[in-house]
Structure 1
Amino acid sequence: MEFLTGINKKDTLEISELMQAERIGQKVKVNGAVHTIRHMGNVAFIILRKREGLLQGVYEEGVSGFSLKDVREADTIEAEGILEQNEKAPNGIEIRMESVRILSEPASEMMPLAISKWKLNTSLDAKLNYRSIALRNIRERAKFKIQEGITRAFRDFLYEQGFTEIHTPKIGARSAEGGANLFRLEYFHRPAILQQSPQLYKQMMVGVYDRVFETAPVFRAEKHNTKRHLNEYTSLDFEMGYIDGFEDIMAMETGFLQYMTALLAKDYQRELKVLNITLPNVEKIPAVRFDEIKQKVSEKYERRIKNPFDLEPEEEQLISQYAKEEWDSDFVFVTHYPSKKRPFYAMDDPEDTRYTLSFDLLYKGMEITTGGQRIHDYQMLCDKLEARGMETEGLTHYLDTFKHGMPPHGGLGIGLERLTMKLVGEDNVRETTLFPRDLSRLEP
């Protein structure tokens, strides 16, 4: 009989612990995966891959108490030796290896990808087919540490602002967005769909907690295969009550972006350096009306307006170019989208009901956020549904929430993979998606 009293203290050290000055010259124990072995005659460098990066071990023939032949790439090992400083080594330290214990060995002699190279010179398909192997490359995995930082900043910032984290169902009877782009399934002999958004649920929860957020997958059955679209992606959503206008939502997102860049600069310096990322300036972000910016871009770049009710990808690029040239900003809020292109719950502009009190946030030529003020009046919601010829079936519980009173509120959804993609400088959203789901990919 024994009792567990907490975390087991390990005698193996991590890179941050090894970098403490008092450790230099001491005998230390570490573990890790053999990333690569560089033979230099009587000396070899055994590079270990650990959660915080790379660690250099030095094997000396006749001095180290093991045979180099016993160690292979992709082995996981435990090693002991003397810690020394070396400016040329990763993180400026190395271990003069005295002994090694093999923890596990690969079953295959050959790695499918040359993960020890600084950059994986292979196709995107190859990287995705061997995703869990490709991500062992230092640059590849750094992208997802940056993505972790974005998500962490979103959570931490909103906690500080009094938001409550919620978890909404992904199987439902009715979609918030409507339309044909739905994954339909049978749910115990009843028709159901995978949710395109947590929108209806997070609005309902504003009546409970005032401010709520969620980070979760959403599903879009769109039959396209572009560099910017996925059929499953992670959405960073929040909804907040007692707003004075949709400008409060844009201001909250600006605050998040400021918090995010500060956190990345503070805690993710290693990954920023590996990826050569320059963080954007988010001290202030311009906001401009949809109809106005379309006209400005049309005039400046001599481009005819083809669709007066939406933005085409080329227009998003030009709007971002305009924002950079005119206001020196990588971000730009485009506000007052046409009502016919927004969902039924979007609040129409009382001054001109052809437009809504809503916005998109563009970042370096791509929409990464959609948000705005919602209708909070029960009768107004019913009238909007009727005007659009929409059935209320499946919306009963949602509408009942408004029947019993709701504060003025609004919110947004941020595409995590898209934001990561633009931040790290990739041009395909699959590069910043752990295991992408698109028209052709259902594995791994």
Structure 2
Amino acid sequence: MDGRTHTVDVNPGETVTVAGWVHEVRDLGGIAFLILRDTTGKIQIVFKEDEMDADLVGTGLGVARESVITVTGDAEEHSNAPGGVEVTPESVEVLAESDTELPLDPSGKVDADLSTRLDNRTLDLRKEEVKAIFEIRAEVLRSVREAFYDLGSTEINTPKIVATGTEGGTELFPITYFGEEAFMNQSPQLFKQLMVGSGLERVFEIGPIFRAEEHNTPRHLNEATMIDFESAFFDHTEAMDACEHVVRNAYDGVAANCQRELELLGLEDAFEVPDEAFPRLTYQEAIERINATGELDEQLVWGDDLPTEGERALGDDVGSHYFITDWPSEIKPFYIKDHDGDADLSTGFDMMHPVMELVSGGQREHRYDHLVTGFEQQGLDPDQFDYYTKMFKYGMPPHAGWGLGVERLVMTMLGLENIREAVLFPRDRQRLSP
């Protein structure tokens, strides 16, 4: 069936078969034009009504927009046609007729709100600028994998149904698993740590995570895709080096391979690949710089989490991707290792875009006794995590890693206003279908 020629490959002087969706029909009286759209672009089909078979003209001009058709005919050069080529048809076959009433306009001439677009995502993706987001997302994932392979990493896949949460019982989606309570996994954190204690040593995973967050904001999802990395014999500084390499490679890939998509989004001149090392600010330096902006009603003190408005003020001040390092131990998860000689200071770090957090990571606690103590200090029962903790008795190397949200990376890369724009079928508090 796919003996067709993509519209981008049609050359004058050829007899071609093209197939796709009816984008538009314009009848000017005596001559009419049908614009056919496929994944590569658009091509013009010309109907000269007085010179063609009436049934052929009737089929071509009577078909509803967004119907799927196939056209065979001769291609000729035409300066006013899309791509500079038009096809005079010898045959037109309707493969699938569309309803005349569409829930949204794929041509983009009539705007639709985001909810309507997400309810009709298949139609929404027929708009070139929407499809461009997901072509770019695909390139981001390809480039990220390439970067991990450069680092000598092995791709893994870990369970998404678990007996207990990665960080305890908060924000968990419970499910029934053969009569027992189980949960959708919040993170591959514990499993990827177990893998660095195996013969694999350096691993990455790209997969879904689930969090029953109550947030309903333009940057929160209840099902997201995470890029996770973990390496044996890495400390937190080496993990940050790897993070910077992966993020920069994603930008490089988009710049090299997605120029058409960037143009469709109006970003061809605005898109910039980070070319300098990401600044590394300590947590203490971060709260001092936030306080100095005067944007907060109350000054931050040691131990405070950074509020959204504080992050934005700091992002405006820094003006590029950056790291926040050396967080207080009390506000980082139990598996984050403290600095040697200072139990109040963790090796945890966050990597930030000027408008939001993208990455959380750090060096992990690899010593069994210290790990169990960390559980207890955060009110967690180590016995519930026995599958995890017992492996630390059998020779667990020092290791470090991080997790990066795909949707947030794409959102910030393209300046999208809502994270749902970067997800095919979002899952949030209100949306379970489609």
Same-fold call, TM cutoff 0.5: yes
How far did residue 85 of structure 1 move? 4.2
Q: 1:58 aligns with which of 30, 46, 52?
A: 46
Partner of 2:214: 223
Partner of 2:390: 400
User: Are the counterparts in 2 of residues 290 and 337 from structure 1 also a CA contact under 8 Å?
Assistant: yes
Of 260-269 and 41-50, deviating more is 41-50
How far did residue 440 of structure 1 move? 1.2
Residue 39 and residue 425 in structure 1: after superposition, are their counterparts in 2 closer, same or farther (change >3 A)?
farther
Residue 69 and residue 389 in structure 1: after superposition, are their counterparts in 2 closer, same or farther (change >3 A)?
closer
Partner of 1:83: 75
Instruction: Give TM-score, length-normalised by structure 2.
Output: 0.92
Partner of 1:4: none
2:372 is the alignment partner of 1:382 = yes
Residue 375 and residue 62 in structure 1: after superposition, are their counterparts in 2 closer, same or farther (change >3 A)?
farther
| Distance across 2 between alignment mates of 1:88 and 1:333 | 51
2:425 is the alignment partner of 1:435 = yes
Alignment of 1:116-195 (within 5 A): 116-117=107-108, 121-195=111-185
How far did residue 429 of structure 1 move? 1.0
Instruction: Give TM-score, length-normalised by structure 1.
Output: 0.90
Amino acid at match of 1:305: Q
User: Are the counterparts in 2 of residues 336 and 355 from structure 1 also a CA contact under 8 Å?
Assistant: yes
- 3-state DSSP class of the match of 1:395? helix
Partner of 2:27: 39
Measured against aligned partners, the alpha-carbon deviations of 1:253-304 in whole angstroms (never above 9, x if no partner) come to 2111222122112221111110012323312211111121111121133533
Alignment of 1:94-113 (within 5 A): 94-106=86-98, 108-113=99-104
Alignment of 1:218-297 (within 5 A): 218-243=209-234, 245-277=235-267, 278-284=270-276, 285-297=278-290
| Distance across 2 between alignment mates of 1:64 and 1:238 | 62
- 3-state DSSP class of the match of 2:336? coil
User: Are the counterparts in 2 of residues 64 and 97 from structure 1 also a CA contact under 8 Å?
Assistant: no
User: Are the counterparts in 2 of residues 115 and 137 from structure 1 also a CA contact under 8 Å?
Assistant: yes
| Distance across 2 between alignment mates of 1:417 and 1:396 | 33
- 3-state DSSP class of the match of 1:393? helix
Q: Alignment identity in percent?
A: 37
User: Are the counterparts in 2 of residues 206 and 241 from structure 1 also a CA contact under 8 Å?
Assistant: yes
Residue 14 and residue 69 in structure 1: after superposition, are their counterparts in 2 closer, same or farther (change >3 A)?
closer
User: Are the counterparts in 1 of residues 13 and 74 from structure 2 also a CA contact under 8 Å?
Assistant: yes
Amino acid at match of 1:49: R
Measured against aligned partners, the alpha-carbon deviations of 1:368-398 in whole angstroms (never above 9, x if no partner) come to 1111111122222122223333212331121
Amino acid at match of 2:206: T
User: Are the counterparts in 1 of residues 318 and 354 from structure 2 also a CA contact under 8 Å?
Assistant: no
Q: 2:318 aligns with which of 304, 308, 323?
A: 323
User: Are the counterparts in 2 of residues 309 and 340 from structure 1 also a CA contact under 8 Å?
Assistant: no
| Distance across 1 between alignment mates of 2:81 and 2:237 | 50
User: Are the counterparts in 2 of residues 309 and 337 from structure 1 also a CA contact under 8 Å?
Assistant: no
| Distance across 2 between alignment mates of 1:289 and 1:41 | 71
User: Are the counterparts in 2 of residues 233 and 415 from structure 1 also a CA contact under 8 Å?
Assistant: yes
Measured against aligned partners, the alpha-carbon deviations of 1:41-68 in whole angstroms (never above 9, x if no partner) come to 3333322221223333333323455213
2:352 is the alignment partner of 1:362 = yes
Partner of 2:205: 214
How far did residue 407 of structure 1 move? 1.9
User: Are the counterparts in 2 of residues 310 and 338 from structure 1 also a CA contact under 8 Å?
Assistant: no
Measured against aligned partners, the alpha-carbon deviations of 1:58-79 in whole angstroms (never above 9, x if no partner) come to 3332345521334221211111
Which ranges of structure 1 fall in alignment gaps of 5 or more residues?
Answer: 1-7
Q: 1:410 aligns with which of 400, 422, 431?
A: 400
| Distance across 1 between alignment mates of 2:31 and 2:332 | 66
User: Are the counterparts in 2 of residues 293 and 319 from structure 1 also a CA contact under 8 Å?
Assistant: yes
Amino acid at match of 1:83: A
Amino acid at match of 1:441: R
Residue 232 and residue 295 in structure 1: after superposition, are their counterparts in 2 closer, same or farther (change >3 A)?
same
Q: 2:6 aligns with which of 14, 17, 22?
A: 14
How far did residue 173 of structure 1 move? 0.6
Partner of 1:73: 65
2:97 is the alignment partner of 1:114 = no
Partner of 1:300: 293
- 3-state DSSP class of the match of 1:136? coil
Residue 137 and residue 434 in structure 1: after superposition, are their counterparts in 2 closer, same or farther (change >3 A)?
same
Question: Alignment length, in residue pairs?
Answer: 424
User: Are the counterparts in 1 of residues 255 and 273 from structure 2 also a CA contact under 8 Å?
Assistant: no
How far did residue 182 of structure 1 move? 0.7
Runs (4 or more) in structure 1 with deviation over 6 Å come to none
Measured against aligned partners, the alpha-carbon deviations of 1:151-197 in whole angstroms (never above 9, x if no partner) come to 11111221232211111111101111224211112211212111000
- 3-state DSSP class of the match of 2:255? helix
Which ranges of structure 2 fall in alignment gaps of 5 or more residues?
Answer: none
- 3-state DSSP class of the match of 2:197? helix
